[in-house]
Structure formats: structure tokens, C-alpha cells
Amino acid sequence: MERIGGTAMNKLFEKSNINGLSLANRFIFSATWDGNADDNGFCTQRNIDMLVERARGGVGLIITGMAYVQADGRAAPWQLAVHGDEFIPGLTEMAQAVHDTQAKVILQLAHGGCYAPTALTGQEVIGPSVNDSDLFPKCRQMTLLEIQKIAEAFGKAAGRAKKAGFDGVQLHAAHGYLLSEFLSPFFNKRTDNYGGSIENRARILLEALQAVRDEVGEEYPVFVKINSEDFVEGGLTQDEMLQVCAMLERAGVDAIEMSGGTIYASGAYSSCRMGALDSLEKEVYYKEAAVRYKEKISVPLLLVGGIRSPEVSERLVIEGLTDYVSLCRPLIREPKLISRWRSGDTNPATCKYCNGCFGPGLKGNGVQCIAGAGNSAA
């Protein structure tokens, strides 16, 4: 029996199943923008190598970097794309390479919304509502037809993911991107059926989920990533998050990943918080929200944010606060972290949460740790 600090590790490394998706353990490589695609969004060998290295390092499931579902939805340079059939061959190579390691992989689907700049897309910036302020990027309000086409774009992108051999898809409705913007009254000032009440603000997400189901069927795993809250004044609250999750549960979503914060929020409440977590007590950014989620929602939960030790990971699962442990920056620094923990080296992840890993990505070299030994890129 494998042990961590004298405690059985069986729960972390037991097999599980999400709508037919069999997973070898409860550790997940959570999605991020990785800056590894080519200038047009096509999958490169760097995309593949990044995922394969983490798969070989022991994670049970990989969620890819966010792939934009429509040409006007590109949020960052060198971002993966899935808005046309021409991207399927490269994505097929990616899925097969991960499968060759015996791990599983799902494709994250996204639209950047007001954070998809004209400089990258060549098109007008769109969002739930017009914005002329300096609080976040200026954009115009989407028409009802554009909203319908966005939902359809998520569905078609999911169909491409399935054709490429991915084990499922995740709809990115967190961090202030388009689906998140609709959920948030901070961004969404509409007065029609897509604004106002939380039911209206969630409408596009539910329509996108239905469009995905229409393309891939009921037996294909479909996840959603959502904010626990926005951490901005006038943003999505925990209570509203729970209402949305209840709607997603009724709509048949297979798993929900909980994160928090937006691109707009800064410092301690951004979607990529900075600062070393030098004690077990400081781990788990969204624990309170996870407790409330598990009291009300039965859909499997993936919890991400500030988790860096096997002790805390095990406690979260055993105490029923999450079903799966999602890690991102710790696995950027240490691709073999999960194998290290499983082998008996139970020291916490060495990631310093400095966000320096995004620097190389913004220079066209892909996201990678720059903090020294203990990573594949140093």
C-alpha cells in the first residue's frame, strides 16, 4: 500500500469513471494558455511535447490549453484553434500522442470575448454588452444572431474534438472570457433574455452545452470550467455560481471544474494568484466554495487553485470536498510531480507561483518555468 506521511494514498490513485471516461488517478493537469501553437492556431510539436511530458509524469487526465472556437475569439498569441476542420489533423496527432502514454486528454473550448483583441483577430471586439469605459477592453454588444452562432461554434468545435480522438471537451466559462462574461453582471449589462437574472445570464452557456450535446451525443464526456466567484465588485457571486451549477447539473453536464477570479481582477484575486504558499493552511484558494458546492451539487467536482501538497490533496478527496485535484502551474514547473509523490517523495510542489512561466510564452517560446532546477525548461 502506497503511503503519504503514514496515511494511505489509495484514494488519490484509485481508478474512477466520468461518463465512461476511465481515469487512472484523481490528478488532473488543468488548462492554461500555453503559447505553443503556430501563428495561425495549428497544433505544433511543442504543444504535443508539453502534454506528453505531463502524461508520462503521472497525471490521469490532461485538459489542453484553451482552443478558440471562432476566428474572432482568439485571446492570446500562439493560442490553439479549433474553429475549422483544417485543425483536425494536428489535434488528432495531439490526442494520439497522449493516448500512447495511457493517459486521457480532453480539449478545452473557449472564446475570448472582450479579451480577444482586434490586433490578434482582425475583427471587431465583442462582448455581452457595449463597454466604453476603461475598466476592461472596449467592445460592442453582441447581437442575438451572434449569440446563436457562438453557441453553434462551441458545438461544432466539440464535434471536431471528438473526430480528432479526444476523450471529451471542457467549455471554458471562467476567468472573464466570453461565457464567463455573460455569467457576470460586472460585464453583462444586457436587458434582454441574456441579461439581468442569473437564469438569463446563464442562457448562452446552457445553449452552448446543448449545442455540444447535439454534436457529440450523451455518452461523450462534457465538462464546464466555472468561477467560484469573480472577486470583483458587481461580479458573479458564490450564490450565483451554485445556481448555475444546479442548472448545469439538470442539463446533464458530466463534471465541473471550479476556479476563480478574472483577467480584470488583480493581485490576490486574479485567476493566477501570485505568492508562495509556504504552509498547508494557505493551500486551496476556493475551499469555502467547494464545501458549499458539495452540499448542493452531485456532479463530480474538479478543484483547482493553490493546491501544492499530497497531504492537502488527499484530505480534500477523503473529506469529500472534491472528487479530483487539478494542478496547473505546479505541473508546468515539475512535469513528473505526480510520479514523484507516488514514489514516496511527498515534499510539496516546488512552484513559487511567481507567474514567470508566462513570460517565455509571450515571447513565442511557450509557457515554461524559468525559476531554475526542477523543471523541464530550465
pLDDT tens-digit map of 330-367: 999 999 999 999 999 999 998 888 888 888 888 989 99
| pLDDT average, residue stretch 133-144 | 90
Q: Is residue 309 part of a domain?
A: yes
Q: Is 289 helix (H, G, I), strand (E, B) or coil?
A: helix
> What is the CATH number for 235?
3.20.20.70
Q: Is residue 25 part of a domain?
A: yes
| pLDDT average, residue stretch 229-257 | 97
Q: Which residues pair with 326 in a beta bridge?
A: 28, 304
DSSP type of residue 263? S
pLDDT tens-digit map of 318-330: 999 999 999 999 9
pLDDT of residue 6: 42
Q: Is residue 370 part of a domain?
A: no
Grid coordinates 507567474 are at which residue? 355
Q: Is residue 377 part of a domain?
A: no
Q: Is residue 371 part of a domain?
A: no
Task: Judge contact between 99 and 56, C-beta under 8 A.
Answer: no
| pLDDT average, residue stretch 171-194 | 97
Task: Judge contact between 164 and 105, C-beta under 8 A.
Answer: no
CA distances from 22 to 203, 307, 344 (A): 31, 23, 25
Q: Is residue 374 part of a domain?
A: no
Distance CA 235, CA 237 (A): 6
Query: Closest by alpha carbon to 209, among 249, 159, 154, 144?
Result: 154
pLDDT of residue 271: 62
pLDDT tens-digit map of 36-61: 999 999 999 999 999 999 999 999 99
277's grid cell = 504558499
Query: Closest by alpha carbon to 151, among 87, 194, 91?
Result: 194
DSSP type of residue 279? S
Domain range holding 112? Answer: 3-362
Number of domains in the chain: 1
Average pLDDT, the chain: 92
Grid coordinates 494558455 are at which residue? 33
Q: E strands along the chain, which residues?
A: 3-4, 7-8, 16-18, 21-23, 27-29, 61-63, 67-68, 104-110, 126-127, 140-141, 169-173, 222-227, 255-259, 301-304, 324-327
177 noted as active-site residue: yes
Instruction: Choose, from 68, 115, 177, 324, the residue flagged as catalytic.
Output: 177
Q: What is the 3-state secondary structure (H, E, C) of 298-348?
A: CCCEEEECCCCCHHHHHHHHHCCCCCEEEECHHHHHCCCHHHHHHHCCCCC
Q: Is residue 173 part of a domain?
A: yes
Q: At what angle do helices 88-99 and 45-56 cross, to 10 degrees?
A: 20
- Strand 222-227 to strand 7-8: parallel, antiparallel, or no bridges (unpaired)? unpaired
Grid coordinates 465538462 are at which residue? 223
Burial class of residue 376 in the structure, from the number of CB atoms within 10 Å of its CB (0-12 exposed, 13-18 middle, 19+ buried):
middle
Q: Is residue 244 part of a domain?
A: yes
pLDDT grade, residue 265 (50/70/90)? low
| pLDDT average, residue stretch 139-148 | 98
pLDDT of residue 357: 86
pLDDT of residue 31: 96
| pLDDT average, residue stretch 84-106 | 98
* More reliable by pLDDT, 232 or 91: 91
pLDDT grade, residue 128 (50/70/90)? very high
| pLDDT average, residue stretch 240-244 | 98
Determine what percent of the chain is predicted with pLDDT higher than 70: 91
- The pLDDT of residue 140 is above 90: yes
pLDDT tens-digit map of 281-312: 678 999 999 999 999 999 999 999 989 999 99
The whole model's pTM is what? 0.94
Distance CA 347, CA 266 (A): 30
